[in-house]
Amino acid sequence: MKKILFATSEAHPLIKTGGLADVASSLPRALLKRGHDVKILLPAYASVVAKANEAGVKKVAELSLSGQTINLLQTRLPGSRVTVILVDIPQFSEREGNPYCGPDGSDWSDNHWRFFVFAKAAEAIALNQANLDWQPDIVHCNDWQTGLIPALLAQHEQKPASVFTIHNLAYRGLFSYQIFAELGLPNDYWHHEKLEFYGQMSFIKGGLAFANAITTVSQSYANEIQTPEFGCGLDGVLRARRDDLSGVLNGINMDEWNPGADKLIAHNYNRRTVNQKIKNKTALQEQLGLPVNEAIPMLGFIGRLVDQKGIDLILNQMNQLLTHDCQIVILGSGFASYEQALKNLAQQHPKKVSVTLGYNEAFAHQIEAGADIFLMPSVFEPCGLNQMYSLRYGTLPVVNAVGGLRDTVFEKPFDDIGSDGNGFVFHEATAEDLHAAIKRALAAYQQPEVWKQLQQNAMSQDFSWEKSAERYEEIYSAITA
Ligand code: ADP
């Protein structure tokens, strides 16, 4: 049994902007189930405090840092027995909306301070100096918001081992030298092998330089980030630490994303009753005002509308795609230019394209259940969850062969699908290659036997957290041995 402090800036269902929240909820639960003593450390954002109040929250400690009082609150992750410690400062708890940026989409100007304080709270807990009477064996950090934790811990002799997991290397947590000086970090940390990144300070480098083990969320992404193409300028650091870097594929929450019991969808179905899936498509067509027709293939997309997700590839092949008999259902939010372009498309083609802007968990489930084909043409994708949800729902994914997409989706010739073929894969991130893969998907859809076989393969895959949790256990053991 290990005592694990799991530091994260998001955890579903308390706060979520992306896949990190899903991981930070599922992995601690899986570790708890396997007998470990896990506590999640999370910022006390306003929306989190509101939800925590429903579950019960109490103040358990108070720290002080440069005149700033930090309250530590304790609650539970709703629907589980996992303890959550909230780091409560006004800069977290008195602000509504997105955890990282204001209503205009630009980062909160004091993000460096907010996540520095968060790291200091983690440091105090890790060293058993937070009056919690609990010291972890492992501090598991996630993404740039927690990058300073291993760096702070490195200053101490007696400290827990640290793991740093990269969920997305593109967010490096960059700030000026002036901020580095203001935070009072050790002078020798201003070095390219520590926190300095081409004249700026990078929070994520704290994790990459100082953690005992580095992991990322798929084996392919672990390889890719050691190359200049995918390394975001950090490939050199990662190559230098290749012996400490491993890829562990994320699992998914198999209870929440289960077409057999999903309460958010119109009709439940499973692998044996997959022919019932079509009722979800007609329900969605009705709901969205699209022509109701079982035979028309429906393509779905859910995700952040940012460059990473290949939205421009989707847009650039849209004219060709619209020549086919199909419907396209999109849910997402992000860059204003993508939102506008998609809205325009939906207005021009109301019988074929439906675009919903915003974040909507229930609707995401309905698209996964209703669509036949799921588009995920990401330019890079550390792991990706939506393609795994799609596979589980028998909604066959069309993906670019990068990161976790490459590790979970496999295309085989129609006459040799075997037990592996479960989707459609292209290898160059271009609109032409995406369109060619969509055409192969549409052709397969016209062959019911082929389609059924692909769906059976997809729905048979095991994406439970058990395997991944076991891998993390091995890593924890190796660094505490
Ligand atoms: P990323 O973490 O890069 O955003 P992932 O595929 O790993 O991508 O995870 C995205 C998660 O966020 C999934 O659970 C997906 O269903 C969810 N999601 C993204 N955008 C939306 C949205 N607009 N509405 C509902 N859920 C969304």
Query: For residue 233, is pLDDT > 90?
Result: yes
| pLDDT cut 70: percent of the chain above it | 100
Short-list 145, 139, 157, CA closest to 213: 139
State how beta strands 174-175 and 424-426 pair. Answer: unpaired
Q: Which of 386, 387, 395, 405 to mutate to test the pocket of ligand 1 (most atoms within 8 A of CB)?
A: 386
pLDDT at 97 (0 to 100) = 85
Is residue 364 in contact with ligand 1, taking CB distance under 6 Å?
yes
Sign of CA dihedral 301, 302, 305, 307: negative
Q: Confidence class of residue 475 from pLDDT cuts 50, 70 and 90?
A: very high
| pLDDT, tens digit (0-9, with 9 covering 90-100), for 52-81 | 998 899 999 999 998 899 999 999 999 999
Query: For residue 446, is pLDDT > 90?
Result: yes
| pLDDT, tens digit (0-9, with 9 covering 90-100), for 370-381 | 999 999 999 999
Query: For residue 208, is pLDDT > 90?
Result: yes
Q: Which residue's CA lies nearest to atom 22 of ligand 1?
A: 359
Q: How many CA atoms lie within 13 A of 438 on its CB side?
A: 28
pLDDT at 481 (0 to 100) = 85
Short-list 255, 249, 470, CA closest to 381: 249
Is residue 470 in contact with ligand 1, taking CB distance under 6 Å?
no
How far apart are the C-alpha atoms of 125 and 286, rounded to whole Å?
Answer: 52
What is the whole-number distance in angstroms between the Cα of residue 268 and the centre of ligand 1? 22
| pLDDT, tens digit (0-9, with 9 covering 90-100), for 349-370 | 999 999 999 999 999 999 999 9
Sign of CA dihedral 411, 417, 418, 421: positive
| pLDDT, tens digit (0-9, with 9 covering 90-100), for 154-172 | 999 999 999 999 999 999 9
Q: Confidence class of residue 340 from pLDDT cuts 50, 70 and 90?
A: very high
| pLDDT, tens digit (0-9, with 9 covering 90-100), for 129-145 | 999 999 999 999 999 99
pLDDT at 103 (0 to 100) = 87
Is residue 382 in contact with ligand 1, taking CB distance under 6 Å?
no
